[in-house]
Chain A
Amino acid sequence: MDLENAMQTGASAMRSQSTRIRIISENIANAESMATDPSGEPYRRRSVSFQSELDRATGANKVKVGGVIEDQSDFQLRYEPNHPAADGNGYVKAPNVNVMVETMDMRTAQRSYEANLASVKAAQSMMMRTIDLLNSR
């Protein structure tokens, strides 16, 4: 059934988007997680990538989380000489998380989630319309 497939595809996308939102929340939560000694590394920003996947049982083209990748960009440096993780010059490595970027990413994920929800609702209402043909007096 095409409409069922449409709903399953939407559901899989919503699942993937929730994973994305989870990873973004982790990034925001750990925006201040630094190391405890100068040799250690602070929290590294992570991001998800999506992948299209064919469900052979139903023929639906679903979405899955392809992988969670660590952002390899440079850490921020902050001047905090009295921090336990400060190096000889008094600089501390802070996570490469930009809270603004994360917030925008969160908005995008939310928008995608809502779009999928709307398409699932559309498929559902079409299905209800078809079923309603049964009781057309």
Chain B
Amino acid sequence: MSVKELPLFAALRAKMAWISERQKLLSENIANADTPDYRPRDLKPVDFGKMVEGKSGNVGMMVTNARHLAGGKGAQNLDFKAVESETYEVSPSGNAVSIEEEMMKVGQAQMDFEVTTNLYRKHTALLKMALGRGN
């Protein structure tokens, strides 16, 4: 079992992928803040806690060899759904983007990303400590 298959690392990587996907959508929203008839989109939240507990819903077959086909293994096979986000106001041009709200979400995404990368770093440090390389 390689490091990247550890459930926690898989979950952290999925979370990072989710946040970058979200950041992409948010920057599209901000970019289109003046485009007529544009509706902002956001990703559906994913319950990452369940993923760590191994209850992500899609049960996959046990992989006992690195060469086995990975069929539906929780974290790797997440599909992120983009949905139209709730809006407060629509401008006369039909645009419903609120820059303030999008900026808040960007800030949140940035914070989440830092938390995730820090956790990732901590866990690699933990593994290294277990290997006896000290830290």
Give A contacts to B, CB under 8 Å.
Answer: 1-3, 5-7, 9-10, 12-13, 17, 20, 49-52, 60-63, 108, 111-112, 115-116, 118-120, 122-123, 125-126, 129-130, 132-133, 136-137
- B99 contacts chain A at the CB level, 8 A cutoff: yes
Q: How far is the CA of A72 from the CA of B18 in the complex (A)?
A: 46
Give the secondary structure class of A's interface: helix
Cα(A7)–Cα(B125), bound, Å: 31
Min C-beta distance of B86 to chain A, whole Å: 20
Q: How many A-B residue pairs have CB under 8 A?
A: 103
Contacts A119-B27, A122-B110 known; 12 new A-B pairs at CB < 8 A: A2-B23, A2-B24, A10-B27, A12-B31, A17-B34, A115-B30, A115-B99, A116-B27, A116-B31, A122-B23, A122-B109, A132-B117
State the CA gap A126–B16 with chains docked (Å).
9
Say which residue of B34, B35, B110, B120 sits within 8 Å of A126 (CB atoms): B110
Q: For the complex, is B2 an interface residue (Cβ under 8 Å from A)?
A: no
- B residues sitting closer than 8 Å to A (CB atoms) are 16-17, 19-21, 23-24, 26-28, 30-36, 38, 99, 102-103, 106-107, 109-110, 113-114, 117, 120-121, 124-125, 135
* Pairwise interchain contact B103-A112, C-beta atoms closer than 8 A: no
Q: Would you give 12 A-B contacts (Cβ < 8 Å), ordered by A?
A: A6-B20, A6-B28, A9-B27, A10-B31, A13-B31, A13-B33, A52-B38, A61-B31, A126-B23, A126-B113, A129-B114, A136-B121
Assess the B36–A49 pair: CB atoms within 8 A: yes
Determine the distance from Cα of A2 to Cα of B132 in the docked complex, in whole angstroms.
37
A5, A7, A10, A52: which contacts B30 (Cβ < 8 A)?
A10
Please tell me if the beta carbons of A115 and B125 are within 8 angstroms of each other in the complex.
no
Least CB distance, B51 to chain A, in whole angstroms: 19
B103 lies within 8 A of A63 (CB): no
